[in-house]
Chain A
Amino acid sequence: MAERLLEVKDLKVQFATEDGVVNAVDGVSFTLDRGQVLGIVGESGSGKSVTAMTMLGLTRGVNARFEGEVQYKGRDLIQLSEDELQSIRGNEIAMIFQDPMTSMNPVYRVGAQIAEGLRAHNEGMNKHQARARGVELLRAVGIPNPESRVDDYPHQFSGGMRQRAMIAMALANNPDILIADEPTTALDVTIQAQIIELIGRLKVEFNSAVILITHDLGVVAEIADVIMVMYAGRVVEMGTKRQIFYDPQHPYTWGLLGSIPRLDRPKADRLHSIEGTPPSLINMPQGCKFRPRCPHAFEKCWEEPALENRVEEPGHSDRCWLPVEAKRTVRDATISGENRAA
């Protein structure tokens, strides 16, 4: 049994805004073990980034309210003070952000930015040691000529190299957990492939756990072990990679799988699409949050279903009223990408 690193229990995040209370995350629970890659999948506004940022206290503010627990090594990250969090951030839990263009400071050299994180968490490390470690890290993430590149400014790096440098920065203190928020979205496919390979390697070499946030099911199919599908601030389905891809239980997951134009299948005449748009987080629909867009909704869906574990499939849970047999008969058309919503 691998070491349990993180346990999130019924996390809720609300933001008070002028227009009303935004329920950004509404009762999310999951666990993360050492060496595991958890993929969090969902559309923009589904609460996937807020979940991750809340773990590091990055969503704290006067208008934010939190409920639930984030247990990490016997401590609840939600309750920690800013100072205590500071010693965890970038040290034990590190984060990579989506946009490599804006997440580095343009007026500092890349090496200096890596060294900053190193020296902040390692008292007694001098500049030379930090620089040497920076070079080592840049080499580890595959930057050519790291000895000279370490003195470059971010603008001298291409997008892919910047994302590598960000990963180097995140790995500087051998974190237990690496949170990657859409790490490949801003990159070209060829560069994306390099970064995916890199993250997969890190899992093995650094023995970290990875939380990978993405909207791209192709990316999670490559490297995730467990997948959590989010919709409107909730987990609608969670299971192992095989369960999600080969035996998905929630109509939203079917829709996501069906709406990707796929290279591995004959060209479909029309793409499946999920009609409508995600609900406003201020004014959520009654009952199941996916009901207004769900082609299979029936009366019972006006009541919200709970996230239930499937009895016959341990570790696989979903939030849907449809009986299992009914799901089996209706889902295939959706997943294969046929647009036959009825």
Chain B
Amino acid sequence: MSTSETPLVEVRHLKKYFPIKKGILQREVARVHAVDDVSFHISKGETLGLVGESGCGKSTLGRTIVRLLQPTEGEILFEGQDITHIGTRGLRSLRREMQMIFQDPYASLNPRKRVGSIIGDPLKIHKIGSKSERKRRVQELLEIVGLSPEHYNRFPHEFSGGQRQRIGVARALALRPKLIIADEPVSALDVSIQSQILNLLKDLQNEFDLTYLFIAHDLGVVRHVSDRIAVMYLGKMVELSPAEELYQRPIMPYTEALLSAVPIPDPDLAAARERIVLTGDVPSPIDPPSGCRFHPRCRYMTDVCREIEPPLTDYEGHLAACHHPLNVSKDEALRAGAAAESPESAPADATPTEPAGKESHPVSAETPR
């Protein structure tokens, strides 16, 4: 998916650390490495799926891109323009271009506001149209997302979870943004409703030429909507590939394990396949393991994994960070080694970010949540 035009979003070496403060002086004692040196781009009109377990930094990444969080380091480019340090005023006009859909349809709508103002407020804030025009636009939006214009004066509590999520989608669409960041938009919904929302998002993308960053932990859902998929683990992007290819040919062992953990709703297939059960939990992002962050849970782990962080290597359009890549022929590995200078694998050169002497710190130190 390489296009010659500027990508809609480009993220370069993005880092987001959260300080942990202690004592009366509130001194910083440690940092949560939520997003740690991540680079990628999203082209116009595509859907980039972002998967990983809870705590891997996928939501933080999404929120940092819309600048709900201030990045610690790195650059975010939107249509070629650097928005990493854009001020409040700049942000406001930026929000017309990028919007978010949140996970929890119960918590993301103000229970004291009517649907009309929930969807219409973005228009009001940006001074778009007269009052009656705004009302017409909101009613139109309600129809677009499959609700009825009569719902204009209702309150969120009068709707079911799926309908609320439709309201959330209408609100995100109100300003006709170019980019929508959907953070687990269907994980709180029942399966039958989930597929309704997924189909809706797909229709809207075709109709309004939207670009999505689709964050989810469900690999089935992500495969269904995405053109390309990025896998994150402990703040690092460990694999990025065209959607179908990720499922046919995972290169990073973590991806392989994730895929094998997804339950298959077919008893015979479920019984027949080999399942890689990862032991332990995700280590703490406060003090991530040295070398490859996945090594304490990896079944292919060797000494090199403990010491050297694997660079994100380009295997002909399929990026993966692993010392023991799966499903890669010798030829491909050689060619990948030679072509280390492609734009996406650029962070590869900057690898030794991890200061030496940091100790591996497996399972024992979990943080809550």
Contact = CB atoms under 8 A, between A and B. Distances in A.
B66 to A, nearest CB: 24
A191 B270 CA distance: 17
Interface string B281-292: 110000000000
B264 A256 contact: no
B278 interface: yes
A156 B366 contact: yes
B107 to A, nearest CB: 15
A270 B202 contact: yes
B198 A261 contact: yes
Contact of B281 (A161, A216, A257): A161
A225 to B, nearest CB: 10
Given A242-B267, A268-B224, A256 B191 contact: yes
B191 A267 contact: no
A221 B266 contact: yes
B152 interface: no
A218 B263 contact: yes
A131 B132 CA distance: 69
Given A215-B191, A268-B224, 5 more contacts: A190-B258, A191-B53, A261-B221, A261-B224, A263-B262
A156 B368 contact: yes
A188 B259 CA distance: 12
B224 A159 contact: no
B81 interface: no
Given A155-B368, A263-B259, A273-B192, A193 B224 contact: no
B8 interface: no
B24 interface: no
B192 A263 contact: no
Given A242-B267, A272-B195, A189 B261 contact: yes
Contacts of A43: 190-193
B156 to A, nearest CB: 15
Contacts, number: 141
Contacts of A197: 277
Contacts of A278: 190
A44 interface: yes
A231 B275 CA distance: 32
B258 A189 contact: yes
Contacts of A194: 277-279
B369 to A, nearest CB: 7
A158 B196 CA distance: 33
B192 A256 contact: yes
A190 B261 contact: yes
A241 interface: yes
Interface residues of B, number: 51
Contact of A193 (B54, B160, B277): B277
Contacts of A161: 281, 366
Contacts of B369: 101, 159
Given A261-B221, A262-B220, A216 B263 contact: yes
B223 A267 contact: yes
Contacts of B161: 44
B275 to A, nearest CB: 7
B30 interface: no
A157 interface: yes
Interface in B346-369: 363-364, 366, 368-369
Interface in B165-222: 190-196, 198-199, 202, 217-221
Nearest to B200: A273
B24 to A, nearest CB: 23
Nearest to B146: A275
B269 interface: yes
- Chain A: number of interface residues, binned into ranges: 35 or more
Interface of A: 43-44, 101, 144-145, 155-161, 188-194, 196-197, 215-219, 221-222, 241-242, 245-246, 255-257, 259-264, 267-268, 270-275, 277-278, 339
A190 B257 contact: yes
Contacts of A221: 263-267, 270
Nearest to B273: A264
Contacts of B223: 261, 263, 267
Contacts of A256: 191-192
B354 to A, nearest CB: 23
B265 A259 contact: no
9 contacts: A44-B161, A157-B366, A188-B282, A218-B270, A241-B267, A261-B221, A263-B262, A267-B224, A270-B199
A270 B196 CA distance: 10
A112 B282 CA distance: 26
Contacts of A271: 195, 198-199, 224
Contacts of B279: 194
Interface centre among B163, B219, B263 (most CB of A within 10 A): B263
Contacts of B281: 158, 160-161, 191
Given A215-B190, A256-B191, A261-B220, A273 B199 contact: yes
B247 interface: yes
A157 B281 CA distance: 10
Nearest to B163: A277
Contacts of B162: 277
Nearest to B191: A259
Contacts of B163: 277
A263 B222 CA distance: 10
B28 interface: no
A222 B267 CA distance: 6
A290 to B, nearest CB: 11
Contact of A273 (B196, B217, B259): B196
A158 B366 contact: yes
B136 to A, nearest CB: 27
B143 interface: no
Contacts of B79: none
A193 B191 contact: no
A270 B366 CA distance: 40
A270 to B, nearest CB: 6
A47 to B, nearest CB: 14
A114 B218 CA distance: 33
Given A273-B192, A273-B195, A218 B262 contact: yes
Contacts of B190: 43-44, 215, 278
Contacts of B368: 155-156, 158
A101 B364 CA distance: 19
A192 B224 contact: no
B264 A189 contact: no
Given A144-B363, A156-B368, A188-B53, A264 B266 contact: yes
